[in-house]
Amino acid sequence: MIYIKNYKIIFLIATFLAVYGCVEPYEFETETFEDALVVEAILTDEIKFQEIQISRTYRLEDDFPTAESFADVVVTDDQGNEFFFYEMTPGKYISNVEFGIQPQRKYQLLIQTRDGGSYSSDPTQMVPGNDIEDLYAERVVLQGEDGIALLVDSKNSETASKYALYEYEETYKIVSPIVVRSTIEFEGNNWRVVPNTKQETICYNTVPSKEIILSNTSALSSNNLDSFLVRFIRKDDPVLGQRYSILVKQYSLTGEAYSYYSTLKKISSSESLLSQNQPGFVNGNMYSINDDDEKVIGYFTLSEVSTKRIYFNYYDFFDFDEPRPKFPEDCIPFRPGELIETPIGMIQSGTVRFMNFAGAPVEGEIGEGPIRVVATECVDCTVYGTNEMPDFWKE
């Protein structure tokens, strides 16, 4: 929201309002809750234990969906094969056998819920896609922001699907800015300084993508994808600070599946202030057998999948005079309290870490306490990730 202090420029501001208006966050609570079955099923050509998630819709103010447990889940094909699924964890169903989706065959997902609901998908086919030919990083300025773009090239044959859905999984290395040799060990209320043996200097974190990324080559001159933007990372994002890796998965889509995901994306993305998309229920290919009016959410998606992973370091793209972004931005040691109980209490609560015992007050240092401490995240990178190197990681 734009607030105005200077009346001299009020008409200028008014002009902005005309163009930019005023958008502010809005507290919203579900007034009327609608319960519906939600199916997440992307089955691929890879021969593996396929996975299907079934949950229910949940209230806006809640954090997690309720799982749909004890459902009978089966995928059938047009040759009479049936692939049964079992519930591994609440709402997560895994196929009994390893199998991959085959082209030319029609599959159907059937779900029988515990409360007697019977659901089915439309018969669905897989359209083969093509491989990710190249995945690479490039330093660009995008809409005024300097950063790294992760781009995909993919050479598709004319017969392959023109539509694809992307997911990625990024993994980055975190290096703690401060290393401590000693740490404090507590035994009840007693404490003692011991050598620090924990590997907490180098960590890794893995994050899945959180947006729908779709490509469509139907408007392009050939069915080739060149420099397709999968992810953009701003220059000051600390994930770039050390070494970064991204795994991109490309799922081929049918035209209908593409239209489902793009509609989902369209109605849930930010929009122009003055023209709002008409929101509504996004029909997938699932429906209730017993009740025509019942809403069923989800698209039983069959895809050919192609994956690719790359690695790069900060200084592969940035000059040495460009300071690398760090996870904790500021790591300044300080000396809290006057008595030793104050820093010890803070250390015990986990907010700070022991560095060393301090002597006479030093000019410019914060506090005059007996122990010098620093924020935990400056020392312990496990705050941000895991200290176990992932299996795939290459230096």
Partner 1 sequence: MKIFTLLLMLFSCYFVFAQDPSKKISLELQDATLKEAILKIEGQSGFKLFFADEWVDRGHVTLSLQDVTLEEALQKVLANTPLNFYQLENGQVVITRNNIIYDRLPEGFFPKVDSLSTKTETTVVDSYNPIFYGPNKRSQTNIETVYIGKQDQAGGKRIYTLSGTVKNLETGEPIANLAILVRGTEIGTVTDQSGFYSLKIPAGTHILETRSFGNEDVQKRLLLYNNGSLNLNLREDYELLGEVMLESNPDKNVNNATAGEENINIEEVKNIPLILGERDVMKVAATLPGISTAGEGAAGYNVRGGKTDQNLILLDGAVIYNPAHFFGIFSAINPFTSGDMTIYKGHIPAQFGGRLSSVFDITSKDANTKEFAGEVSVGPVTANVALEIPVIENKSGIIIGGRSTYSDWILKSLEEESLKNSEASFSDVLVKYNHKFNDKISVKTTGYFSNDRFSITSDSLYNYQNLLFSLQADHKLNEKNTGSLLLSNSSYNFDIEYDSQFNNNFISGYRINETEAQLNMRYLHSKAHKFDYGISGKLYNVQPGEIDPLGAESIIQPFEIPQEKGLESAVYISDQFEVNDRLLLNAGIRYSLYAALGEKAQKIYEEGQPKSEATLVDTLYYGKNEVMETYSGPEVRFSARYFILPDLSAKASYNSTYQYIHTLSNNTTVSPTDTYKLSDRYIEPQRANQYSLGLYKNFDSNEYELSLEGYYKTSENILDYKVGAQLFLNENIETEVLQGKGRSYGLEFLLKKTEGRLNGWLGYSYSRSYLQLDGEHREEIVNNGEYFPANYDKPHDVSVVANYKVTQRFSFSANFVYQTGRPVTYPTGKYNQNGMEYVLYSDRNRFRIPDYYRLDLSFNVEGNHKIKKFAHSFWNISVYNVLGRNNPYSVFFVTDQGEIKAYKSSIFSIPVPTITYNFKF
Site residues for partner 1, window 149-168 (CB under 8 A)?
149, 167
Where does this chain touch partner 1 (CB under 8 A) — which range of 135-143, 176-184, 334-342, 352-360? 135-143
Residue of 90, 103, 255, 361 that binds partner 1 (CB under 8 A)? 255
β-pair partners for 60: none
Q: Which is nearer to partner 1, 191 or 384 (CB)?
A: 384
Q: In this chain, which of 229, 310, 331, 383 binds partner 1, going by CB under 8 A?
A: 229
Of positions 264, 310, 331, 389, contacts partner 1 by CB under 8 A? 264
| Cβ proximity of 75 and 43 under 8 Å | yes
Residues forming beta bridges with residue 167, ordered by sequence position = 249
Cβ burial, residue 35 (10 Å; 0-12/13-18/19+) = exposed
Return the number of the residue (139 or 198) whose C-beta is nearest partner 1.
Answer: 139
Stretch that binds partner 1, among 19-27, 80-88, 317-325, 344-352 (CB under 8 A): 19-27
136 CB neighbour count, 10 Å cutoff: 13
Interaction residues for partner 1, span 267-326 (CB under 8 A): 267-283, 287, 293, 295, 297-298
15 near partner 1, rule: CB under 8 A: yes
- Using CB under 8 A as the binding rule, whether residue 58 contacts partner 1 is answered as yes
What's the distance, CA 309 to chain centroid? 16
**Residue with smaller CB distance to partner 1, 297 or 374:** 297
Residues 339-358 that bind partner 1 (CB under 8 A): none
Taking CB under 8 A as the rule, does residue 262 contact partner 1?
yes
Judged by CB under 8 A, the residue of 94, 178, 184, 212 near partner 1 is 212
Residue 328: name the closest of 391, 377, 281 by CA.
377
Specify the amino acid at residue 317.
Answer: F
Q: Which stretch binds partner 1 (CB under 8 A): 110-118, 209-217, 346-354, 376-384?
A: 209-217
Distance CA 280, CA 257 (A): 17
User: Which residues are within 8 A (CB) of 267 and not within 5 positions of it... i.e. 6 or more apart?
Assistant: 277, 279, 280, 282
Q: Is 144 in the site for partner 1 (CB under 8 A)?
A: yes
Per CB under 8 A, the list member of 100, 256, 311, 383 interacting with partner 1 is: 256
**What is the distance between the alpha carbons of residues 99 and 46, in angstroms, rounded to a whole number?**
7
**What tokens appear for 33 in the block?**
């809750």
Closest listed residue to residue 138, CA positions, set 226, 249, 252: 226
- Decide if 163 contacts 144 (C-beta within 8 A): no
The smaller minimum CB distance to partner 1, of residues 59 and 114, is found at: 59
Distance CA 283, CA 260 (A): 7
What residue has token string 């200290």?
A: 387
Q: Is 67 in the site for partner 1 (CB under 8 A)?
A: no
Query: In whole angstroms, how close is the CB of 394 to partner 1 at the nearest point?
Result: 26
Instruction: Considering the complex, state which of residue 77 and residue 226 has its C-beta at the smaller distance from partner 1.
Output: 226
Phi and psi based region of residue 208 (left: phi greater than 0; alpha: psi -120 to 50; beta: remaining): beta
User: In this chain, which stretch among 78-86, 94-102, 138-146, 365-373 interacts with partner 1, using CB under 8 A?
Assistant: 138-146
Q: Segment near partner 1 (CB under 8 A), from 33-41, 233-241, 315-323, 327-335?
A: 33-41
Nearer to partner 1, 34 or 187 (CB): 34
